[in-house]
Amino acid sequence: MTDSASSYYEVHEDGYVNRNTLSTEAIHDLRSIAVRMNSSGFLHECLKAYVSERKSVIGASLQHLNVEKLSRNSCKRLEWGVLESKIKIWIKAAQICFKYYFVNEKRSCEQIFHDLGDETTDSCFMDTITDHTIQLLDIAEAISCIRPGSERLFRILDLHNTLSDLLPLIHNLFNSQSSDFLRTKAVNQIIPKLADKANEILLNFENSLVNEQSPVVYAEPIHRLSKYAMRHVYKLCDYKQTLMRLSLPDLPSMDAAGIVSTSFSLHVDWIIMTLVSNLEVKSKLCKDPPATRLFAVNNFHYIIQKIQASPELLEVVADNNFNKLVGKFQQARSDYLNLTFDVVLRNLSVEGLNKIKILSFRVSKLVDRLKRFNLEFEKLRKDLGKVVVPDFRLALELRKLIVDMLVTAYTSFLVHTKEVACFEAYVKYSVEEIKSAIHEFFNCNADR
């Protein structure tokens, strides 16, 4: 038995395939031994020896898979990186055990001990695998008691998925009265606990999004909250099917986003719109209006790009909420341009100059406005060359809008000076030089 049952695995693309099965010859020999010992009244001793040997083989194989016992307290104490690696080990081990080990053990028991008593086969199988099954299930149950943390959600969902996917096998393996407690433990205790933990973590993340109060750091044009929340939303979409099967918790504040349901798509909608609301609050706390609006422009554009880049996310986000977000972005962009170029454009205005009857006064006003324009534009040229707009396409879009707005006004202003003698002496920039300078606005080299 020992020689026939040595632990051995081969690694294939789809994972480990169990090769730890008794050979046909070994099954035949063991069947003969069992029949003879039964006829001599020693079936109990035969079962005891068989179970002891097979239990040790499975135990050694679990050690080979690096499965270790975990208690609730140890799960709470371990650093997340360590616990996450143990969860991955558990997932692989559970798949191998339920798909291969336990199936093979049940088949072997049936082949060796059939017709040797009504409950002999089931008793042999249960005595062989019960302790190891309980060990695996206890680990999953202990992990379901970890502290909530947003980064832990997806490993909990992996556990839930794994155990849920194994349910058909679990029902087939433990279909007797004596094994009912194992099936019940998996189906009615552990899977619901994992679902509850997933809901707790999701709700914890959503609450943290509402209450997050980190300040705006202008050296980071895309706020870390935007990056963090959108990464989380992307991962949620990866687990969409799993989350749709769960009974998701009530949203932290339904009034905040006008949401009155708890479906997966509305949770994602709520997260994105709450993120946007949080960013708006952050921007209003700043004392520099143009910088405040640029912060909103960069972050709203970032969120829009992330949504558009993911077909799964684009399908989930409600059209009205996406349109609201686009509207907020466009308003922030318009506000930023108006605030930034208000003084420059006012200097290019010729309004009221035609009412000045004395030519010398009118020329003096034109010259004065042009000089102020030159000073203000030079200042903007220096300042905006340092302003960070991480997305190159957004920078191009802003430059185009500035060209359309500023070059039109500048050209119109110069038209009014054509008949003014020697006025060209005060013209510091040609129209082409204005365009060229605008194309140097914004630094797109910052890390997104």
Select from 352, 339, 347, 395 the least CA-distant residue to 368.
Answer: 347
How many domains in the chain?
Answer: 3
How much of the chain, in percent, has pLDDT values that exceed 70?
Answer: 88
The answer to whether the beta carbons of residues 150 and 170 sit under 8 Å apart is no
* pLDDT value at residue 259: 46
Q: What is the pLDDT of residues 210-255, one digit of tens each?
A: 888 888 887 789 999 999 999 999 999 999 999 988 888 887 765 5
* pLDDT value at residue 261: 46
In this structure, the answer to whether residues 137 and 39 fall within a common structural domain is: yes
In this structure, the answer to whether residues 192 and 258 fall within a common structural domain is: no
In this structure, the answer to whether residues 316 and 357 fall within a common structural domain is: no
Residue at a domain's end among 304, 321, 338:
321
Eight-class DSSP state of 251: P
* pLDDT value at residue 10: 40
In this structure, the answer to whether residues 42 and 183 fall within a common structural domain is: yes
* pLDDT value at residue 276: 95
In this structure, the answer to whether residues 228 and 301 fall within a common structural domain is: yes
Residue 343 is assigned to a structural domain of this protein: no
Select from 210, 211, 206, 196 the least CA-distant residue to 248.
Answer: 196
Select from 136, 271, 120 the least CA-distant residue to 206.
Answer: 271
What's the gap between Cα 372 and its chain centre? 50
Residue at a domain's end among 140, 171, 199:
199
Residue 341 is assigned to a structural domain of this protein: no
In this structure, the answer to whether residues 26 and 151 fall within a common structural domain is: yes
Q: Which two tokens stand for residue 410?
A: 């500048």
In this structure, the answer to whether residues 186 and 280 fall within a common structural domain is: no
What's the gap between Cα 146 and its chain centre? 20
Q: What is the pLDDT of residues 184-210, one digit of tens each?
A: 999 999 999 999 999 999 999 999 998
pLDDT band at 32 (very low <50, low <70, confident <90, very high): very high
* pLDDT value at residue 4: 38
In this structure, the answer to whether residues 16 and 111 fall within a common structural domain is: yes
Give the end-to-end CA distance of the chain in Å, rounded to a whole number: 61
Q: What is the pLDDT of residues 154-182, one digit of tens each?
A: 999 999 999 999 999 999 999 989 999 99
Residue 204 is assigned to a structural domain of this protein: no
In this structure, the answer to whether residues 353 and 313 fall within a common structural domain is: no
Residue 4 is assigned to a structural domain of this protein: no
> For residue 314, is pLDDT > 60?
yes
In this structure, the answer to whether residues 294 and 361 fall within a common structural domain is: no
Per-residue b or e along 406-423, where b marks 16 or more CB atoms closer than 10 Å to that residue's CB: beebbeebbeebeeeeeb
* pLDDT value at residue 11: 37
* pLDDT value at residue 352: 54
Q: Which domain holds residue 183?
A: 9-199
Q: What is the pTM of this model?
A: 0.84
In this structure, the answer to whether residues 104 and 38 fall within a common structural domain is: yes
Residue 447 is assigned to a structural domain of this protein: no
> For residue 3, is pLDDT > 70?
no
pLDDT band at 353 (very low <50, low <70, confident <90, very high): low
Residue 15 is assigned to a structural domain of this protein: yes
Mean pLDDT of 129-156: 94
* pLDDT value at residue 355: 52
pLDDT band at 6 (very low <50, low <70, confident <90, very high): very low
Residue at a domain's end among 286, 321, 356:
321
Mean pLDDT of 60-80: 91
Q: Is 184 helix (H, G, I), strand (E, B) or coil?
A: helix
> For residue 270, is pLDDT > 50?
yes
Q: What is the pLDDT of residues 369-415, one digit of tens each?
A: 888 999 999 999 999 999 999 999 999 999 999 999 999 999 988 88
Q: Considering only residues 64 and 417, tell me which one the structure prediction assigns the higher pLDDT.
A: 64
* pLDDT value at residue 2: 42
* Cα distance between residue 32 and residue 215, in whole Å: 77
Of the ranges 13-17, 39-43, 408-412, which one carries the lowest mean pLDDT score?
Answer: 13-17
pLDDT band at 20 (very low <50, low <70, confident <90, very high): low
In this structure, the answer to whether residues 264 and 379 fall within a common structural domain is: no
Residue 330 is assigned to a structural domain of this protein: no
Residue 3 is assigned to a structural domain of this protein: no
Of the ranges 108-117, 361-370, 405-414, which one carries the lowest mean pLDDT score?
Answer: 361-370
Q: Considering only residues 230 and 148, tell me which one the structure prediction assigns the higher pLDDT.
A: 230
Which distant-in-sequence residues (6+ apart) come within 8 Å of 304 by Cβ? 322, 325, 326, 329
* Cα distance between residue 165 and residue 221, in whole Å: 43
What's the gap between Cα 299 and its chain centre? 18
